[in-house]
């Protein structure tokens, strides 16, 4: 789909800018990803799992 490609401005935005924006976005995102799995979620899964195992499958 050709989104009425915002003509000159996009060109002006340029690859460098977009690359920088992309880097910031990923850095922000990866900062959270790198925190790994907080205990509460591992515990939650274990709890649900144990609960389930008591029931016949």
Partner 1 sequence: MALDESVRQAVLSAVPSLRAFAISLCGNVDRADDLVQETLLRALANINSFQPGTNMSAWLFTILRNHFRSEYRKRRREVEDGDGSYAESLKSHPEQHGRVEFAEFRAALAKLPSDQREALILVGASGFSYEEAANICGCAVGTIKSRVNRARTRLAEIMSIDSVDDFGPDRTTRAVLAGNDR
Residues across the chain: 57
Using left for φ > 0, alpha for ψ between -120 and 50, and beta otherwise, residue 4 falls in: beta
Residue 36 has φ and ψ, to the nearest 5°, of: 75, -155
- For the segment 1-57, give every residue that binds partner 1 (CB under 8 A): 1, 3, 5-6, 9-10, 13, 16-18, 20-22, 24-38, 40-42, 44-45, 48-49, 52-53, 55, 57
Task: Catalog residues that contact partner 1 under the rule CB under 8 A.
Answer: 1, 3, 5-6, 9-10, 13, 16-18, 20-22, 24-38, 40-42, 44-45, 48-49, 52-53, 55, 57
């Amino acid at each position: 789909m050709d989104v009425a490609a915002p003509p000159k401005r996009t060109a002006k935005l340029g690859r460098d800018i977009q690359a920088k924006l992309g880097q910031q976005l990923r850095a922000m995102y990866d900062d959270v990803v790198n925190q790994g799995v907080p205990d509460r979620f591992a515990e939650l899964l274990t709890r649900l799992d144990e609960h389930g195992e008591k029931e016949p499958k």
